[in-house]
Amino acid sequence: MLNYKTVSPQYLERAVDQFANNYYSELSATHYVATAAANAPFDELKKCALFQLADEQRHLEMDREVFERAGIPERDWLAAWEAPGTTCRFFRHLLELEDTIEILVKGNFVAEGAAGPGTFTVLADGAEARGDVLSAVNHRARIRDETRHISYGRVLVKALIDDDPGNLDTIQEWQDESLRLFAEVARGGERRAWWDGFLASYYKIALPLGLRPSF
């Protein structure tokens, strides 16, 4: 069941870019969250980032196992990630940042807020329907941690706006920039359900705080 004996060869071929999206976004997260922890302006925020680092490390290992059990040779992984239509552009951008607040707003509030419970549920159900039980289990495990990562991102954004309403403009810019980098994933309509769910779950947390839709 967990060794990809029951999925079709076509499924595996098409699933490789999804595996890359999962694995490399988690790998990126371990790096940018470590930077966020190292540069954190106060201790509570450092603590949140360090707890998240442990979670992301675990996700990374789960997704590595998917690649391995699916028998995809490691030399093909990076090419799948760098191919058009993945979330690579966004995560490479995050890896260039040094400012803790900017990293956490873009990574936790925007990206995880968007990719949160809704999208991972779509991914889990889709994988399960095609016999990919391992991916389904992984996505459901991920959902439990994402909620925690999103929560402190959200508290951070709310505190920034309460502290100075002028911060809203900066956060809007960070949102626009992030979603533009993500928009590539929606191209071609193949991931339409994913993209619609992605924007909807993000706007559900962002609009009540005074942010506007990016598109």
Residues of this chain that bind Fe ion (CB under 5 A): 26, 56, 59, 149
To Fe ion, the closest distance from the beta carbon of 76 in angstroms equals 22
Q: What angle do CA 47, 49, 55 make, to 5 degrees?
A: 110
Mapped onto helix, strand or coil, the DSSP state of residue 116 is coil
158 vs 152: CA distance, rounded Å: 10
Nearer to Fe ion, 130 or 149 (CB): 149
Q: Which of 19, 26, 14 is nearest to 111 (CA)?
A: 26
To Fe ion, the closest distance from the beta carbon of 198 in angstroms equals 15
Confirm if 186 and 192 have CB atoms less than 8 A apart.
yes
What single-letter amino acid sits at 96? E
To Fe ion, the closest distance from the beta carbon of 182 in angstroms equals 15
Confirm if 174 and 106 have CB atoms less than 8 A apart.
yes
Nearer to Fe ion, 7 or 90 (CB): 90
Nearer to Fe ion, 109 or 174 (CB): 109
What single-letter amino acid sits at 72? I
Nearer to Fe ion, 7 or 67 (CB): 67
To Fe ion, the closest distance from the beta carbon of 116 in angstroms equals 9
